[in-house]
Amino acid sequence: MLENPIFFYIASAIIIFFTIISLINKNIINSLLAAVMVFFCGALFFYLLGSEYNAIIQAAVYGVAVPVIIGLSIMFSGNVSCKNSTETENKREFKLSYFTLLSGGIFVLALVYVIMISVSILPDTFCIKEIAQTTSYDVISAFAKGIFIDYVWAFELLSLLLTIVIAGFTLFNRRRDS
Amino acid sequence: MMNNITMYHYLFIGLFMFLTGFFGSVFAKNIIKVLISIEFMLLGININFVTFGTYCDGLDFEGYIMSLFYIGIGAVEFAVALYLFYLMFQKKDSDNIQKYTDL
C-alpha cells in the first residue's frame, strides 16, 4: 500500500476531472478516452487500498477490454446523432452539465468535511476497526478461500453466465448471418 | 496535518463516482454515454466495497471478493447492453436515447 497521501490526492483530482470531462464532452471519442482514464484511476485506487488483484482485474477489464468494445460500437454507429441536435437535446445537455456540477459541489462539501476530520476539528464519530497489517499472501489466501470455499456457487454461476453470454452471441450472429 | 488518508476519503470518491454516474445515466442523450455512466456507478460501488474490505473486514477481505464478482457481472451486463444497442441501432439508425422507446 502506498502510504504517501499525495498519490491519493493526485488520483482523486484526475478521477474527478476526467469524470466530468467524460460526461460533459459532446464528442463521444473524447468522452471514451476520458472514461478510460477514469477506469485506470479506479484501478489505482484499488492498488492504494491494498487490493492489487482487483487493480489488475479492473485495469484489464475496464481499462482495456470494455473501451475496445465501446470503440467498436462507436465505429459502427458513426456518430449519427451529432447531425440532429435539437433544442430539447441542448436542454438535456444543459441539465447534464448542471447536475454534474451539482454532484461535484456535493463532493467538494464532503471533501471539506473529511479534511476537517483529518485535522481533528470534528470528532471521528464513525468507529472503524484498525486496518489489519496484511501481506500479499494474506490477500491471495483470502481470495482463494472466498472464491473456492465460501462463494464457490456464486463463482460457478458467474462462470456459467459468461459462458452463456459468449454462446448466445455466437448463436445470434449465426442466425442473423443465415 | 493532512497526512492521514481515512476511510471517508475513499468513500466520498465512491460517492462522487456514483452520483456523477447516476446523473449521467439519467440525463445523457447518447446511449453509449449512458452505458459509460452506468460503468461509473459500478466503479463507485466497487471502490466502496474495496474500502470496506480494507478498513472493516479484518483478514476476510469479503469486500474484495464482492468487488471481483461485480467486475465480472458488470462486464457481462455491458456486453449484453451493447449487443442490444447494436440491434436497436440497425432499426433506428440513431444513437439518441429518446428514439429508443421500444425494445
Q: Write the pLDDT tens digit of every residue in B34-62.
A: 889 999 999 999 999 999 888 887 767 78
As to burial, measured by CB atoms within 10 angstroms (0-12 exposed, 13-18 middle, 19+ buried), residue A65 is: middle
Give me the residue spans of the domains in chain B.
26-99
Of A38, A99, A142, the CB nearest to B23: A99
ipTM of this complex: 0.88
Of B56, B68, B82, the CB nearest to A57: B68
Look up the pTM and report it: 0.76
The answer, for B91 touching chain A at a CB cutoff of 8 Å, is: no
Q: Rounded to the nearest 10 degrees, what angle do helices A66-77 and B62-92 cross at?
A: 10
- pLDDT at position B57 is 72
The answer, for B84 touching chain A at a CB cutoff of 8 Å, is: no
Closest-CA residue of A relative to B56 is A129
Of A70, A88, A114, the CB nearest to B32: A70
> Which span out of A3-12, A104-113, B12-21, B93-102 was modeled with the highest average pLDDT?
B12-21
For chain A, residues with pLDDT lower than 70 are 1-3, 78-134, 176-178
Choose between B11 and B83: higher pLDDT.
B11
> Which residues in chain A have their CB less than 8 angstroms from residue B36's CB?
22, 31-32, 35, 70
- pLDDT at position A29 is 86
- pLDDT at position B54 is 85
B1 — pLDDT class (breaks 50, 70, 90): very low
